[in-house]
Amino acid sequence: MRKSHLLFIFTFNLLIFASCINRTTEKTISADVLRDKIAGGWAGKMIGVTYGAPTEFRAQGKMYGDSIKWKPSDVRGSIWQDDIYVQLTFMMTMDRYGIDAPAGKFQEMFAKAGYPLWHANVQARKNYYDSIIAPRSGMPENNFHADDIDFQIEADYLGFMSPGMPLTASALADKIGHIMNYGDGVYGGIFVASLYSRAFFSNDIPEIIEYALKSIPSESDYYKIVQDVIKLHKHYPGDWQAAWKELESKWDDVDICGAGSTFNIDAKFNGAFIVMGLLYGNGDPMKTMEIATRCGQDSDCNPSNAMAVLGVLKGFKNLAPEFTKGVTEYKDSLFINTDYSFTKAVENTYNYALALIKKESGVVSGNRIKIKVQEPVAPMLEVSFPDAVFQKKIAVFDKSAWTFKGKWETVKRPAADGKSLENASEIAENKGDIAEFDFTGTGVSLSGEWNKNGGKADIYIDGTLDRTIDTYFNYNKQEYGNTSIWHKFNLSQGNHKVRIEVKGEKRSGSEASKVNLTDALVFITGKKKNDTFRFSFE
């Protein structure tokens, strides 16, 4: 484990302890209102994710301009949404092992759940089967998707069960968020959980956002992009599209995972769209969801988070019938691969909230609940890929950079435009088959496939063995193409050589020992646009 991460945990716990000692503020809420606000939060997730679902990633680097049609019965689609079922798996872990269960138990249950996963989540699942356990599973050296959106869309329940207690939510988020994420990827979950924590006791959306920002480091890019949205909202109070254009121009190159494409699943970038929806929506649920959706990219997750904030703020009973109707109709339907329904999620979240309130010196007396309100404290700064800037993508058919020795087979797959060469792979499975890749830069990611035929290979960087990779993956019959199978950052600037030596070995369960390569992403160390960019009015 990184010493810096151990220091982070130690320091964060000290800060929590110090804050707990100095807490004096109390808030009182009735049991009925607490339960209703929790119900509003869960309903908001279900409504928002189904509102934006038809638009997901259909607007990349542009605003979504087509019509958005949503009706109450569409809420049924939330039963199949990862925004909800993943975090319910974490609640099932609490049900089985207790709220203080170690991170490994949360990772185990989510790794063994029967649903498909993507990006940071699927890497954390694979890491579990490769014996890389949290928090190592979320660290950037083990997870190319460390800054992705995954934990941000799965941390809602932590805020729902921590009314007025952002430190409590943050401590749980630190443990669970590092299963799949790191740095800004974890801060996304902390930020949204803190939004909910504050929404129990505030109707002022700008104040809720400023409050939640206190839970993440001011030096982080996540903090900076949210501050930019606040600044843009003040300058363009009635024109979210003008604000979007300037934000896009400044921050569109931050995604490591989607480097070289318009696809952006970075937590902070999408988190900014949550905030944009909240600020420009001004408390109106439909307007909030529409703006968060039209901002594009992961446009089901972002309105889902934004609508959940309004759900907590308003409470379920104060949502319009057009929103509550669909939730009520499907309130007892089980979310896939869980034993949870909306009804059970509300009740168990409420019970966990009571337990945490008591644990933090609050008092539960009949219908009267007294909460010791906490002040947010930011953890130490983590940065996943410091100063890493995408330079270029080099496909395996570029023989100026790639050399293949042994029995490599070229496999071509049709691309969307019919140019099969763009989807070429090189595949080998015999011991001694070697591929070499030469590049100039400070970071590199090799792309290939995880599948049922995957085998093992040794990866060398500049003649030194870095590690052995295993490309087998066939959990629940889910396989992955064009995924990062190995990456390395923080290299010295200059020329480097990566050598892939196929071992001719496989783990039990794999049908072959094949290693599949498609391309390499090359990174350099430098300044991103957001480091030097100035808005037009500055």
Q: DSSP for 440-491?
A: EESEEEEEEEEBTTB-EEEEEETTEEEEEEE-B--GGG--EEEEEEEEE-SP
Kindly report, residue by residue over 358-382, the tens digit of the pLDDT: 999 999 999 999 999 999 999 999 9
CA distance 214 to 210: 7
DSSP states along 500-522: EEE-S---TT-S--BEEEEEEEE
- Give the CATH class of 3-372: mainly alpha
pLDDT band at 22 (very low <50, low <70, confident <90, very high): very low
Question: For the chain, first and last CA: distance in Å?
Answer: 43
Residue 340 vs residues 72, 104, 114, 334, 433: alpha-carbon distances, Å? 21, 22, 14, 5, 49
Give the burial string for 65-76 (b: 16+ CB within 10 Å, else e): eeebebebebbe
Residue 479 in this model has a pLDDT that exceeds 70: yes
Residue 2: pLDDT band with limits 50, 70, 90: very low
pLDDT at residue 481 in the model = 87
The answer on pLDDT for 11 being more than 50 is: no
Domains in the chain: boundaries: 3-372, 388-530
Residue 419 has pLDDT above 90, yes or no: no
Phi-psi region of 282 (alpha: psi -120 to 50; beta: other; left: phi over 0): left
Q: H/E/C letters for each residue in 44-84?
A: HHHHHHHHHHHHCCCCCCCCCCCCCCCCHHHHHHHHHCHHH
Count CA atoms within 13 Å of residue 222 on its CB side: 34
Q: What is the pLDDT of residues 493-535, one digit of tens each?
A: 999 999 999 999 999 999 999 999 999 999 999 999 999 999 9
Q: Residue 131: left (phi > 0), alpha (psi -120 to 50), or beta?
A: left
Question: Is the CB of residue 23 less than 8 Å from the CB of residue 373?
Answer: yes
pLDDT of residue 423: 64
Query: What integer pLDDT is reported at residue 515 of this predicted model?
Result: 98
Q: Which helix (H) or strand (E) holds 29?
A: strand 26-30
| SS3 of residue 353 by DSSP | helix
Q: How far is residue 181's CA from residue 139's CA, in Å, rounded to a whole number?
A: 7
Non-local (6+) Cβ contacts of 201 within 8 A are: 27, 29, 163, 164, 373
* Mean pLDDT of the residues in the chain: 94
Give the span between the Cα atoms of 242 and 373, in whole angstroms: 38
Contact 285, 310 (CB under 8 A): yes
Question: For residue 12, what pLDDT band results from cuts at 50, 70 and 90?
Answer: low
Confidence of residue 477 (pLDDT cuts 50, 70, 90): confident
pLDDT, tens digit (0-9, with 9 covering 90-100), for 240-280 = 999 999 999 999 999 999 998 999 999 999 999 999 999 99
- Please tell me which residue, 288 or 425, carries the higher pLDDT value: 288
Backbone angles phi, psi at 97, to 5 degrees: -115, -5
pLDDT the model gives residue 304 = 98
Instruction: List 388's β-bridge partners, or say none.
Output: 525
pLDDT at res. 412: 82
**pLDDT 10s digits, 197-253:** 999 999 999 999 999 999 999 999 999 999 999 999 999 999 999 999 999 999 999
CATH number of 388-530: 2.60.120.260
Alpha carbons 71 and 50: distance in angstroms, whole number: 9
pLDDT digits (tens, 9 = 90+) for 100-154: 999 999 999 999 999 999 999 999 999 999 999 999 999 999 999 999 999 999 9
